[in-house]
Amino acid sequence: MTGHVTVRFYAELTGHLPGSGREMQRPVDGSEEVGSLIEACGIPLAEVDLIVVDGESVGASHRVGAGERVGVFPVFERFDIGPVAKLENRPLRVTRFLVESGLEPLARLLGERGYDTVVSEGPLTGHLGPEHAGRIILTPDPDVIGPSGASHGLVVRATDPADQLGEVARRLHL
């Protein structure tokens, strides 16, 4: 069945969207998984904590159908939504970072503030090794988070290190 779904993004996820829109219509034929639909909108799943379809929490593999309404919420660091969330990724309770090599000044600022921070030896591509498990990836490249195998990540948009630190602090409620 071909039709459209309405997808609404909340809070900082709207920063990934073009313009100032929070809601969009997307064509579907009944075979699309909601996780793929969200990523097609430009939102890395690593930044999503809760997906609600027609009032019910669903996992990323839920198939969306015409006429459904999808709500997409960012990672909740201060609230335990475990009883309602169907996504496997849970918010990290210990904040540790893996920072892409191009963001060394940001890594230095985070380290100065006491955060466990590791800088990658080069651009992040492919899958991450077990030594990076439980770290939040910070990268300017949205393509890094999706395929990397990371459970948590943040696309840093600011270019100035102080602005990057402010962005990370604001978006992760540090």
pLDDT given for residue 84 in this prediction: 59
Residue pair 32/3 in contact by the 8 Å Cβ criterion: no
Asked if the model's pLDDT at residue 114 lies above 80, the reply is yes
Strand partners, 118: 98
For the stretch 118-147, pLDDT in tens is 898 877 765 666 666 678 889 888 777 765
Distance between start and end Cα atoms, the chain: 45
Confidence (pTM):
0.54
Q: What would the DSSP string read from start to end of 123-156?
A: ---SPPPGGGTT-EEEES-HHHHTTTT-SSEEE-
pLDDT given for residue 85 in this prediction: 56
pLDDT given for residue 108 in this prediction: 93
Task: Kindly report the number of other CB atoms within 10 A of residue 79's CB atom.
Answer: 9
For the stretch 4-63, pLDDT in tens is 999 998 887 887 777 666 888 899 988 889 988 988 888 887 788 889 999 898 888 899
| Residue 88's pLDDT band (cuts 50, 70, 90) | low
